[in-house]
């Protein structure tokens, strides 16, 4: 009962994980380690359709105009495999795309940064071990390899600024502890994900370089995080579950030297955050019979009220997701949808714009196979 319901709730969460703080697109769950089958594999696909628009200065600074929808649709993929090595030791391998950004201020809006685009993509492979101790306690540890790359083009019609960042691959680690009480379907897992530091090789160009690209190597820290995941049975075939996730987003910035110098007199990085982020989720799952279960999940992230960058003009969110799981023999298929009310934001000067009343829809499917 608990695995089926938890899977449904997790998918409802994953369908729109990218509305979470910073540029996050995966919540780094270790839930796959607790699948009961000796061998288990899963595949997940998610799609998110955000609508993020605002009002700010026009291209001639003579008035205000709409920005158009600056947040492009995107998809995410993940794979997972879990194997019980013996009675005390489990192994899991997880592929996901933990961070990302797709920014597209469409041309033709007369908005001051019309035509500007930015993209960040990532691929991560995480290997985990879970060692079972007495009294239903277990220790979790592992390594994570993360590859990240990106591009940015700001005000391309005037050749104002371009950034090209080559992919870099670096390592981090995972440490955690878990406790279970199977008779009431209770489990608590606390995990720490280390930061990962990339030393990027990059090039920049602007009108001040004559449009020529110059070397712009810089360092970025993909931030550390802490996850608390929990679940417990509250009635027959009914499960309460949720998570609390903290991410050290104030440690993250994209700050190549030439761009920072161009941002006179503020000298701010291209991307940075003024607050760490805590994301809360709470859900209820219900098993109807041996084949069907469903879950509803609520998500929340605080609205901080600080100004934001023009490449990410959102501040907090509330969300509601629904998911259903069909189980037949060794196969589980879960589908989920989620609505996200995206928090209002005001962007930083020099281009101060107001982004209000934005929202997005996410959907996902996960197929799990036990063998």
The burial of 281, by beta-carbon neighbours within 10 Å (0-12 exposed, 13-18 middle, 19 or more buried), is given as buried
CB 171 within 8 A of CB 204: no
The 3-state DSSP class for residue 108 equals: coil
CB 57 within 8 A of CB 155: no
If one counts the domains in the chain, the total is 1
CA 72 to chain centre: 15
Half-sphere exposure of 97 (CA within 13 A, CB side): 20
Alpha-helical segments (H) within 60-216: none
- 339/356 Cα distance (integer angstroms): 16
Sequential pLDDT tens for the chain (371 residues): 444 444 444 444 444 444 567 799 999 999 999 999 999 999 999 999 999 999 999 988 899 999 999 999 999 999 999 999 999 999 999 999 999 999 999 999 999 999 999 999 999 999 999 999 999 999 999 999 999 999 999 986 555 899 999 999 999 999 999 999 999 999 999 999 999 999 999 999 998 898 899 999 999 999 999 999 999 999 999 999 999 999 999 999 999 999 988 877 778 899 999 999 999 999 999 999 999 999 999 999 999 999 998 899 999 999 999 999 999 999 999 999 999 999 999 998 778 899 999 999 999 999 999 99
Q: What is the CATH number of the domain that holds 238?
A: 2.40.160.60
- 198/169 Cα distance (integer angstroms): 7
Which is nearest to 152 in space by CA: 206, 77, 108? 206
Q: Which domain holds residue 13?
A: 2-370
């Amino acid at each position: 009962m608990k695995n089926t319901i938890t899977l449904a709730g997790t998918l409802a969460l994953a369908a729109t994980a990218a509305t979470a703080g910073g540029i996050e697109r995966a919540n780094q769950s270790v839930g796959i380690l607790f699948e009961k089958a000796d061998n288990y594999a899963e595949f997940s696909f998610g799609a998110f359709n955000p609508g993020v628009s605002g009002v700010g200065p026009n291209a001639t600074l003579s008035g205000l105009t709409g920005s158009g929808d600056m947040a492009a649709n995107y998809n995410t993929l993940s794979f997972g495999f879990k194997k019980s090595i013996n009675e005390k030791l489990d192994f899991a391998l997880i592929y996901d795309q933990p961070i990302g950004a797709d920014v597209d201020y469409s041309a033709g809006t007369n908005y001051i940064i019309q035509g500007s685009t930015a993209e960040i993509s990532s691929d991560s492979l995480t290997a985990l071990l879970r060692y079972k101790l007495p009294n239903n306690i277990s220790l979790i540890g592992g390594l994570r390899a993360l590859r990240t790359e990106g591009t940015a083009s700001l005000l391309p019609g005037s050749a104002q600024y371009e950034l090209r960042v080559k992919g870099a691959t670096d390592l981090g680690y995972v440490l955690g502890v878990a406790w279970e009480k199977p008779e009431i379907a209770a489990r608590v897992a606390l995990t720490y994900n280390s930061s990962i530091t990339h030393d990027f090789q990059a090039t920049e160009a602007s009108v001040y370089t004559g449009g020529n690209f110059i070397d712009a190597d810089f360092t970025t820290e993909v931030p550390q995080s802490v996850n608390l995941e929990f679940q417990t049975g509250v009635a027959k075939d009914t499960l309460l579950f949720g998570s609390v996730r903290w991410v050290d987003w104030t440690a993250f910035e994209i700050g190549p030297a030439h761009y920072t110098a161009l941002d006179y007199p503020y000298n701010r990085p291209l991307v940075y955050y003024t607050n760490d982020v805590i994301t809360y989720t709470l859900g209820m799952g219900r098993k109807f019979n041996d084949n069907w279960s469903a879950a509803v999940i609520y998500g929340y992230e605080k609205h901080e009220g600080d100004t934001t960058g023009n490449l990410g003009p959102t501040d907090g969110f509330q969300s509601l997701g629904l998911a259903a799981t069909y189980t037949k023999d060794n196969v589980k298929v879960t589908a989920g949808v989620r609505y996200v009310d995206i928090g209002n934001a005001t962007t930083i000067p020099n281009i101060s714009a107001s982004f209000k009343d934005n929202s997005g829809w996410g959907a996902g499917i996960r197929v799990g196979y036990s063998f």
